[in-house]
């Protein structure tokens, strides 16, 4: 089977990805910042979490991510410790350290959030993750927690502007790989249509 993520997208596909996948949402203060784990661009994710904290966009956060091959520390531990080092109070960071994928990030985090805050007390969530994964974060959250208002903030370390992702071979590969997951994941019930 051919790896479709190495294809050159058509103008129509680029336009569809820019309009439907690389969405930006109005940002306002939220009850919770949901930091999805990663091995890539950790510094950018932590910097953005700190910027959001400093500017009063969340009062509590959860960091979710398990141990990945080649590491002895979980994504959660690495990111949460870096957030604390930047100045976010440890008591404002909930931790989930078992998840191996985006679905597990949400499924395993919900009981942690419920125990600490009560799900009914959380009305709005900012999802923070990689640019190329984009709307799949809130779509996954929407599948398992439809009641909460979702906002999206994404980060990456590419020098290429987001709107020109298709001009950078690695950015393009990551974007197309994620874009190609949307419809199959919806069909399997992993994610729900959002917004």
CA distance 52 to 44: 12
pTM of the model: 0.95
Residues of the chain with pLDDT > 90: what percent?
Answer: 92
In the prediction, which pLDDT does 19 show?
Answer: 94
Query: For residue 40, is it within any domain?
Result: yes
> Has residue 2 got a pLDDT over 80?
no
Query: For residue 94, is it within any domain?
Result: yes
One DSSP character per residue, 68-97 reads: -TT-SSBHHHHHHHHHHHHT--GGGEEEE-
Query: For residue 88, is it within any domain?
Result: yes
CA distance 48 to 45: 5
- CATH code of residue 51: 3.40.50.620
Domain residue limits at 75: 24-153
In the prediction, which pLDDT does 4 show?
Answer: 83
**Which SS3 state, helix, strand or coil, does residue 22 take?**
coil
CA distance 61 to 155: 17
Query: For residue 166, is it within any domain?
Result: no
pLDDT digits (tens, 9 = 90+) for 15-47: 999 999 999 899 999 999 999 999 999 999 999
- Give the pLDDT mean for 121-144: 97
| Mean of all residue pLDDT scores within the chain | 95
Query: For residue 48, is it within any domain?
Result: yes
Residues of the chain with pLDDT > 70: what percent?
Answer: 99
- What is the CB neighbour count within 10 angstroms for residue 79? 27
Query: For residue 161, is it within any domain?
Result: no
Query: For residue 15, is it within any domain?
Result: no
**Overall domain count for the chain:** 1
Confidence of residue 148 (pLDDT cuts 50, 70, 90): very high
């Amino acid at each position: 089977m051919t790896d479709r993520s190495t294809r050159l997208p058509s103008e129509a596909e680029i336009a569809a990805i820019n309009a439907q996948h690389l969405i930006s949402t109005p940002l306002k203060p939220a009850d919770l910042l949901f930091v999805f784990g990663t091995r890539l661009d950790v510094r950018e994710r932590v910097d953005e979490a700190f910027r959001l904290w400093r500017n009063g966009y969340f009062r509590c956060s959860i960091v979710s991510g398990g141990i990945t091959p080649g590491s002895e520390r979980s994504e959660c531990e690495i990111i949460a410790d870096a957030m604390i080092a930047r100045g976010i109070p440890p008591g404002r960071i909930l931790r989930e350290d078992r998840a191996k994928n985006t679905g597990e990030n949400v499924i395993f985090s919900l009981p942690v959030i419920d125990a600490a805050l009560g799900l009914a007390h959380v009305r709005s969530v900012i999802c923070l993750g990689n640019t190329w994964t984009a709307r799949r974060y809130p779509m996954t959250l929407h599948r398992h927690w439809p009641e909460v208002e979702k906002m999206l903030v994404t980060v990456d370390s590419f020098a290429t502007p987001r709107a020109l992702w298709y001009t950078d071979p690695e950015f393009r590969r990551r974007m197309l790989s994620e874009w190609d997951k949307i419809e199959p994941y919806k069909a399997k019930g992993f994610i729900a249509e959002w917004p």
